Amino acid sequence: MVYLEGVLRNGFDRPDLVGGVMEAAKGLWFGSGELDWEKLVAYTLRLRNQTAARRLGFWLERLGLGDESLLTRLEVGRGHSYARLEPSGMDSGPRNARWRLIINIP
Protein backbone atom coordinates (compact mmCIF):
# COMPACT_ATOMS: atom_id res chain seq x y z
CA MET A 1 0.00 0.00 0.00
CA VAL A 2 1.29 3.46 -0.91
CA TYR A 3 0.95 6.16 1.72
CA LEU A 4 0.61 9.82 0.85
CA GLU A 5 3.37 10.61 3.35
CA GLY A 6 5.81 8.38 1.45
CA VAL A 7 4.90 9.91 -1.89
CA LEU A 8 5.39 13.42 -0.55
CA ARG A 9 8.67 12.49 1.12
CA ASN A 10 9.91 11.21 -2.22
CA GLY A 11 8.67 14.40 -3.89
CA PHE A 12 10.81 16.59 -1.63
CA ASP A 13 13.77 14.24 -2.03
CA ARG A 14 13.45 14.02 -5.83
CA PRO A 15 11.13 16.78 -7.06
CA ASP A 16 11.82 15.71 -10.65
CA LEU A 17 9.76 12.55 -9.99
CA VAL A 18 6.61 14.55 -9.23
CA GLY A 19 6.89 17.42 -11.71
CA GLY A 20 8.87 19.79 -9.48
CA VAL A 21 8.90 21.10 -5.95
CA MET A 22 5.74 23.15 -6.56
CA GLU A 23 3.82 19.93 -7.26
CA ALA A 24 5.12 18.42 -4.02
CA ALA A 25 3.98 21.58 -2.20
CA LYS A 26 0.53 21.29 -3.79
CA GLY A 27 0.37 17.73 -2.49
CA LEU A 28 1.03 19.05 1.03
CA TRP A 29 -1.70 21.66 0.71
CA PHE A 30 -4.38 19.50 -0.85
CA GLY A 31 -3.55 16.46 1.28
CA SER A 32 -3.24 18.38 4.55
CA GLY A 33 -6.52 17.04 5.92
CA GLU A 34 -5.39 13.43 5.46
CA LEU A 35 -1.70 13.61 6.32
CA ASP A 36 -0.10 12.23 9.44
CA TRP A 37 2.45 15.00 10.03
CA GLU A 38 4.53 12.96 12.47
CA LYS A 39 4.81 10.15 9.94
CA LEU A 40 5.74 12.55 7.13
CA VAL A 41 8.53 14.13 9.18
CA ALA A 42 9.79 10.74 10.40
CA TYR A 43 9.81 9.33 6.84
CA THR A 44 11.66 12.40 5.57
CA LEU A 45 14.29 12.30 8.31
CA ARG A 46 14.92 8.61 7.60
CA LEU A 47 16.16 9.58 4.15
CA ARG A 48 19.18 11.26 5.73
CA ASN A 49 18.84 13.91 3.02
CA GLN A 50 19.18 17.33 4.62
CA THR A 51 17.90 19.11 1.52
CA ALA A 52 14.67 17.07 1.44
CA ALA A 53 14.09 17.93 5.11
CA ARG A 54 14.78 21.61 4.45
CA ARG A 55 12.40 21.68 1.48
CA LEU A 56 9.65 20.06 3.55
CA GLY A 57 10.26 22.44 6.46
CA PHE A 58 10.19 25.45 4.16
CA TRP A 59 6.83 24.47 2.67
CA LEU A 60 5.28 23.50 5.99
CA GLU A 61 6.23 26.91 7.36
CA ARG A 62 5.20 28.79 4.21
CA LEU A 63 1.80 27.10 4.04
CA GLY A 64 1.15 27.33 7.78
CA LEU A 65 0.96 23.55 8.17
CA GLY A 66 2.32 21.45 11.01
CA ASP A 67 3.53 22.96 14.25
CA GLU A 68 6.78 24.46 15.50
CA SER A 69 7.97 21.19 17.06
CA LEU A 70 7.83 19.51 13.63
CA LEU A 71 9.69 22.40 12.04
CA THR A 72 12.36 22.24 14.74
CA ARG A 73 12.89 18.52 14.08
CA LEU A 74 13.39 19.24 10.38
CA GLU A 75 16.02 21.90 11.16
CA VAL A 76 18.38 19.42 12.83
CA GLY A 77 21.53 18.88 10.80
CA ARG A 78 20.58 21.37 8.11
CA GLY A 79 24.21 22.28 7.41
CA HIS A 80 25.69 25.65 6.50
CA SER A 81 25.54 25.65 2.71
CA TYR A 82 22.52 26.71 0.71
CA ALA A 83 20.66 24.30 -1.57
CA ARG A 84 18.16 25.08 -4.33
CA LEU A 85 14.49 24.81 -3.45
CA GLU A 86 13.87 23.62 -7.02
CA PRO A 87 16.82 21.42 -8.03
CA SER A 88 16.29 22.00 -11.76
CA GLY A 89 16.21 25.79 -11.26
CA MET A 90 18.98 28.35 -11.28
CA ASP A 91 21.39 29.07 -8.42
CA SER A 92 20.01 32.58 -8.02
CA GLY A 93 17.17 34.05 -6.03
CA PRO A 94 16.42 35.15 -2.50
CA ARG A 95 17.88 33.05 0.30
CA ASN A 96 15.94 31.69 3.24
CA ALA A 97 18.32 31.64 6.23
CA ARG A 98 16.23 29.34 8.43
CA TRP A 99 16.04 26.58 5.83
CA ARG A 100 19.30 27.38 4.02
CA LEU A 101 17.50 27.38 0.68
CA ILE A 102 17.81 29.46 -2.47
CA ILE A 103 14.22 30.34 -3.35
CA ASN A 104 14.56 29.89 -7.10
CA ILE A 105 10.88 29.65 -8.02
CA PRO A 106 8.48 32.42 -9.09
What is the predicted pLDDT for the residue at 26? 96
Can you tell me the distance from the alpha carbon of 92 to that of 106, in angstroms, rounded to the nearest whole number? Answer: 12
pTM of the model: 0.93
pLDDT tens column, 40-99: 999 999 998 999 999 999 999 999 998 999 999 999 777 789 999 999 999 999 999 999
Q: Where are the alpha helices (DSSP H) in the chain?
A: 4-13, 21-31, 37-46, 50-63, 68-75
Model confidence at 2, pLDDT cuts 50, 70, 90, reads low
pLDDT the model gives residue 1: 41
